[in-house]
Chains A and B, each alone.
Chain A
Amino acid sequence: MATMRDIRRRIKSVKNTQQITKAMKMVSASKLRKAQGALLSARPYAERMRDVLMRVAAKTDASLHPLLVAREGNRRAYLIVTADRGLCGGFNANLIRKAVLTIREHGTEDPMIIAVGRKGRDYFKRRLFNLVGDFTGLGENISFSHAKTVADAVRELYTHNLVDEVWLVYPHFVNPVTQRHEAVRLLPLQTPESTGKLEAEYVFEPTPEEVLDHLLPRYLNTVVFRALLEAKAGEHGARMAAMDAASSNAEDMIKRLTLIYNRARQASITREISELVAGAEALK
């Protein structure tokens, strides 16, 4: 009955795998909750920041600021946010595809790549893209200083006039199981649209221009920070979904294998009985 033993072994191994995927799903679920919390608590700051920026932008000739001026040219850098680890379904692959598609759409020749996350870095490194910066192993808790380091690198490229535009490719967190991979222009910055109604007259100290000067780099930091947080939450969401699918696939497989096993077991019993009967018959 070698086949029966084989099937039994197979079932055991699938069960083991299922245990692992179930555990990973659980871990991802709790990490997701944390990441979502971080995303949520970052929201007030980002919103207020946008409010203030909107008001200042309405007061100043915003187009004069170096971080806002559009430049002619076809040199672009792409900040691509992926996860450090795999086992999260098509999360990383889809992000990379989005990035590559965006680059192709823009027709950028020799794009510069800044990769956040090991998966993205490895991909672009292997394909000999011009990788000008990478940030990996940021860990579970994304702090604002991480975002600052990344944003500083981006700003550096732009202010030293090495690129004309910087784009950000990241997974927008819609809900735990859905991410919308987005490509947005990071630099030159787009100031948020004014909502039209200009409330009261604001006083800006020292001057609107100076406030803007302080505001823009920080605004960039918060945009990057949000992207990192969304990517973190998205990664865990994707992993949770992938592990859930894996667990239920394992369940199906176990069911199927158990059926086959039982069929084989019954066949062997039947055969034994008929052999016994035949033997008894022969003795008569």
Chain B
Amino acid sequence: MSSMQVEVVTPERKVVSRECKMVSARAVDGDIGILPRHIPLVTVLAPGVVKIKGESDVTTLAVSGGFLEVRPDSRVTILAETAELSNEIDVERARKAKQRAEDRLGKLGNPDVDAIRSEIALRKAMIRLEAAGAKKE
């Protein structure tokens, strides 16, 4: 079984750099899975959960969108604006953020409520929870 090198890079740091068997992520037009020896690819990522599967373990991250590149030597690079490892996520905070966003969306029509921003906040919180939750199972 061949494996490949994967890196998750944000402007502030390199979050992950490891060997793996498979990478799955959410691209703008659907989820994608990358196996070793994938053809060279550049795709736009939507905010979502990225999973990096190794021999027996999984690294899970919450990513706020970015790019995924597969190089000819089948190295995978994920360029994300922000990326959080599942064990770095503050579940309590994410839950509260979700609650707040939902409350705000419940009060639509109120001129103080920015629907788009609340929606984005809600999505972010849900992605975080998903990434963090996946680890606990």
Q: Which residues of A contact B44 (CB under 8 A)?
A: 205-206, 210-211, 214
- CA–CA, A46 and B14, complex, Å: 11
* Measured CA separation A143–B69 after assembly (Å): 24
Interface residues in A187-229 by Cβ distance below 8 A to B read: 199-206, 210-211, 214-215, 218, 221-222, 225
Interface locus among B4-12, B113-121, B122-130: B4-12
Report whether A203 and B77 are in contact in the complex, using a CB–CB cutoff of 8 Å.
no
Interface residues of A (CB under 8 A from B): 38, 41-42, 44-46, 48-49, 51-52, 55-56, 143-144, 147, 199-206, 210-211, 214-215, 218, 221-222, 225
- Which residue in chain A gives the minimum CB-CB distance to B27? A205
Q: Are B43 and A204 in contact, CB atoms less than 8 angstroms apart?
A: yes
How long is the Cα–Cα vector from A147 to B42 in the complex, in angstroms? 25
A44 to B7, CA, bound (A): 10
- CB of A205 within 8 A of CB of B10, answer no
Out of A200, A211, A222, which one reaches B11, CB within 8 Å? A222
Contact of B29 with A by CB under 8 A: yes
11 further A-B contacts with Cβ under 8 Å, apart from A44-B14, A45-B9, are: A42-B11, A44-B9, A48-B69, A144-B11, A200-B40, A201-B39, A203-B40, A206-B28, A206-B43, A206-B44, A210-B28
B31 smallest CB distance to A (angstroms) = 12
> Quick one: which of B12, B29, B41, B77 contacts A202, CB cutoff 8 A?
B41
Which residues of the partner chain B approach A206 to less than 8 Å between Cβ atoms?
A: 28-29, 43-44
Residues A143 and B67 in contact, CB atoms below 8 Å apart: no
**B83 to nearest A CB, angstroms?**
11
B13 at the interface (CB under 8 A from A): yes
Please state if B79 and A205 are interface contacts (CB–CB under 8 Å).
Answer: no
Partner-A contacts on B (CB < 8 A): 7, 9-14, 27-29, 32, 39-44, 66-67, 69, 72, 77, 79, 81-82
Using a Cβ cutoff of 8 Å, how many contacts connect chains A and B? 76
Bound: A43/B32 CA distance, A:
27
27 residue pairs of the A-B complex, CB under 8 angstroms, read: A38-B12, A41-B13, A42-B11, A42-B12, A44-B14, A45-B9, A45-B11, A45-B12, A46-B11, A48-B9, A48-B69, A48-B79, A56-B42, A143-B12, A144-B12, A200-B40, A200-B72, A202-B40, A203-B42, A204-B41, A205-B27, A205-B42, A206-B28, A210-B28, A211-B42, A211-B44, A222-B11
Of all chain B residues, which has the CB nearest A37?
B13
Please indicate the chain A residues that have their CB under 8 angstroms from the CB of B77 in the complex: 48
User: 8 closest Cβ contacts across the A-B interface?
Assistant: A200-B72, A205-B43, A144-B11, A202-B40, A200-B40, A203-B41, A45-B9, A41-B13
Residues of chain A lying within 8 A (CB to CB) of residue B39: 200-201, 203
Picked from A49, A55, A204, the residue with its CB within 8 Å of the CB of B79 is A49
Task: Tell me, in angstroms, the Cα distance from A201 to B43 when the chains sit together.
Answer: 14
Report the bound CA distance from A214 to B67 in whole Å: 9
Taking a contact as CB atoms under 8 Å apart, the answer to whether B12 and A41 are in contact is yes
CA distance A186 to B11 in the complex (A): 18
B10, B40, B42, B72: which contacts A45 (Cβ < 8 A)? B10
Contact of B72 among A199, A204, A221, A222 (CB under 8 A): A199
Smallest CB separation, A30 vs chain B (Å): 19
Picked from A200, A205, A218, A222, the residue with its CB within 8 Å of the CB of B29 is A205
What distance in Å separates the Cβ of A53 from its nearest Cβ neighbour in chain B?
A: 10
B10: chain A residues within 8 A (beta carbon): 45, 144
State the Cβ distance, A61 to closest chain B Cβ, in Å.
17
When distances are taken between beta carbons in the complex, the residues of chain B under 8 Å from A147 are: 11
Give A214 Cβ to nearest chain B Cβ, in Å. 5
